[in-house]
Structures are given as structure tokens and as C-alpha cells.
A and B are shown apart, each in its own frame.
Chain A
Amino acid sequence: MLNTDLISYLANLSKIEVEDADKEKLVSEMSAIVELMDAMNEVTIEDDLNLNGEGISLSNLREDEVVESFNRELVLANASHKKDGFFVVPKIME
């Protein structure tokens, strides 16, 4: 059952902050969507189908040859916080 606790759990797992004021609305929208998805309950997996798809042979994989890396400026170009060639992240709570 989709309730505020489950929505809070999922929001935390997917790292999206949801304000308490918005939780009720989100619960009601997600409940309708999940109700649609619950038609899956009518389905039983019967056959032993390979769910992982066809494979590719080892010989078709990428060769282990070096290609020049990107210039550091380009790597950092889109970052909003950088310092001395690093990406900067605020304090991580341990």
C-alpha cells in the first residue's frame, strides 16, 4: 500500500527532497499510477524464458587500446563548483 512512509522512503532512496506539504498530493498521484501498475498481479511467470536477452561473443568487444583522455578544462567545464582541478562537494555527513 502506497502511503506517506513509503513515498518518504522512495524519495530518500532516489535523493529527491519532498516537503511535507507536497507529500499528500504525491501519495495520491503515485497511488493512482501504482494502481494501474498493479494489473501485474494478474500475471504469473510461467515459462522459463531467458529474461536477459541474446549475448554477444567475446571477440566482438572493444579492443584494449588507449584513446587520449579529455582536457581537464573540458571535464570540469560544466561543474558549478570546482577548485584546483577538483570537483567540489560540500561536507559529507559520516
Chain B
Amino acid sequence: MSRYIPIIGLEVHAQLLTKTKIFCSCEVDFGGEQNTRCCPVCTGLPGTLPVLNKQVVKYGVKAALALNCGVGQYTKIDRKNYFYPDLPKAYQISQFDLPVVKSGKIKIETEDGEKYIRIHHAHIEEDAGKLIHDNIENTSLADYNRCGVPLLEIVSEPDMSSAEEARAYLEKIAGLLQYAGVSLCRMEEGSLRADVNVSIKRPDATKLGTKVEIKNLNSLKAIVRAIDYEIERQTKILDAGDVVIQETRKFNDNRGITQSMRSKENAHDYRYFKEPDVIPVIISDEDIAEIKQQCQY
């Protein structure tokens, strides 16, 4: 019996099934030769501007309906600023405080019965490119085909208390989004990605424990293994009277362990501010009604 309660939250990224990217009209597709599905906008050339794809917002509304969440009827686009070679503009166009999908909750089934997991919000954003590491030359090769592919990021509340619950939640979300037709949600193909936040606390503690983020989870199995390992790792630390460091860790699939990432991931000041190139979108009651009609329920 564990002396600690695990507190688990999930950030799920689902690639939306639109024909074109979120901010330009390049085609969204799998595979393809590097840098062949790009244009001045998604490669961030000087003078270019993002133009929001209507279907991306519509899918956001569909997702809200499917996930039993509220719709942000005045929804705003924001910039998240950071430097990384897979991000051509050095900012990701995303949403910060007025997302298209507001809070809600979904029901999951576990062996201990039914449980509700709350969704904090979900927002639309652009995906980054891909980096391939050239170990011979010691360089990284950047392919921007994936830049601008539309994502829906679903952020849960830290309501899960086991790896099993996390799995059930992820499977439920994926199922709902697939059924709504907004995403294929296939982890193996990359149309579904998840990061996990894990902390542990004593049952009687009022404060939450230190949160650790785990990235690089490429399958459902990896998520379960990573969570179990992390709970054990943090348990050992607290039992020894030590302190868990707040950080981002990478899951090493081969060894089944999480490892500290020395990258700047750990301390980011994203300097969020409203994207001046994209006007906030007003989603009317009529818009929602029309989209509801198109859904398969």
C-alpha cells in the first residue's frame, strides 16, 4: 500500500483532420520529402502573416461538444515565445487565456468503478517542425513540413491517481475525438501525443507535491510504464527525506526509466501576449447549433 497519493495530469496533443495547415494553405499530410509542404508563411519568412483556418476553429467547437466542455465564444489567439530550431518564427501561435474549449469533465471506467476526470481547457495551436540528429556531423537537420499543422491541446486537471486511470482517460479522449471526426488520434502515427505531469503527496497533506513533467511518450504502454516508474522514483526520494525537483524528464523507452533533461525546458518565460496578426474569433450560438447538427450523435 502506498503511503502517498499520486496526482496525475495529462496534456494531450491531437492533430486535427483539416486539409490545410492552421495558418497557411499548405496541405496537411503524412510523410513526404522534407521541406516540400512549406511556404513563406509556415517557414516564417520576413513579412509573412498567419491566416486562421476556419475548419480548425470549427473542429475546436466539435471537440468541445464531444468532450462535454463549454465553448469559448470569444476566443483569442496568442504567441508563446521561445527559441528552438524546429520553431521557425521562434514563437508558437497558440492560445493562452481565452481558449476555444472551456472546462468540462469526462467519465472514465476503471476496475474501481466510474470516475470523472475534469478537463481544464483545450486550445488550438500550430505544431512545430521535425529535427533529425545527424550524429556523424554532429548537427541537426530541420524539416518544416510539420510546421503549422493544426493541433488541439487538451489539458486535464490533475484528477488521475494511477497509471490505469491515465490510460483510461487517454483512451476515452482519443475515442471521443475520433468519433467526432476531428482527429485520427493514432499515437503510432504521431496524430496523438501526450505529456504527463506526476506528483505525489501524503493523504493528509493539503499542498500538492512537486510536479514533474514527462515527455517523449510514444505509446500507451510507455505512458503507463513512465507513470509507474515516476511514482516509484518520487516515493523513494520522499521516503529518504529528500525533495523532488521540479523539472521536465524524458522517458527512456529502452530502459523503462525517466531521465532528467538538462535543456532549457526547465525554466521558460514564454512572454505570452495576444497575437496581433490574428483577430479574436466570435463563435455565435447559431454557429454552435450548426456545428452540432453536423455531428454524428
Please determine if A and B sit in direct contact within the complex, based on CB atoms under 8 angstroms apart: yes
Residues on A lying within 8 angstroms of B by beta carbon are: 13, 15, 52-59, 61-67, 69-70, 72, 75-76, 78, 83-94
> Which candidate, B4-12, B28-36, B177-185, B190-198, is the interface stretch facing chain A?
B28-36
Docked CA distance A86–B134 (Å): 11
Q: Mark B257-280, 1 if CB is under 8 A from A, else 0.
A: 000011100000101001000011
Known: A83-B141, A91-B138, A94-B261. A52 touches B280 (CB 8 A): yes
> Is A70's CB under 8 angstroms from B38's CB?
yes
CA of A66 to CA of B148, assembled, Å: 14
Contact with A along B32-57 (1 / 0, CB 8 A): 01111111100101000001111111
- Interface contact A58-B142, CB-CB below 8 Å: no
CB neighbours (8 Å) of B107 from chain A are: none
Q: Which 8 A-B pairs have the closest CB atoms?
A: A86-B141, A61-B54, A67-B25, A64-B55, A55-B282, A87-B142, A55-B280, A56-B279
Known: A15-B83, A61-B52, A69-B27. A52 touches B281 (CB 8 A): no
List 8 A–B pairs whose Cβ atoms lie within 8 Å, in order of A's numbering. A61-B57, A64-B56, A69-B26, A72-B35, A85-B33, A85-B36, A87-B141, A88-B140
Pairwise interchain contact B52-A64, C-beta atoms closer than 8 A: no
Q: Closest CB-CB distance, B74 to chain A, in whole Å?
A: 6
A52 to B274, CA, bound (A): 7
Query: In the complex, which residue of chain A has the Cβ closest to the Cβ of B50?
Result: A62
- B132 neighbours in A (Cβ, 8 Å): 86
Q: Is B139 an interface residue (CB 8 A)?
A: yes
Asked if residues B19 and A65 are in contact (CB atoms below 8 Å), the reply is: yes
Q: Which residues from chain B contact A62 at a C-beta distance below 8 Å?
A: 25, 51-54
Interface-centre pick from B20, B98, B287 (highest chain A CB count, 10 A) = B20
A88 to B144, CA, bound (A): 12
Q: CA of A55 to CA of B282 in the docked complex: distance in angstroms?
A: 6
| Least Cβ–Cβ distance between B30 and chain A, in angstroms | 15
Once the chains bind, are B141 and A56 in contact (CB under 8 Å)? no
Shortest beta-carbon distance from A6 to chain B in Å: 13
**Min CB gap A63→B, angstroms:** 6
B9 nearest CB across to chain A (Å)? 25
Q: How far is the CB of B211 from chain A (nearest CB, A)?
A: 21
CB distance from A72 to the nearest CB of B (A): 5
Give complex CA distance A62, B76 in Å: 16
Distance, CA A15 to CA B90, complexed state (A): 11
Q: Which residue of A lies closest to B283 (CB)?
A: A58
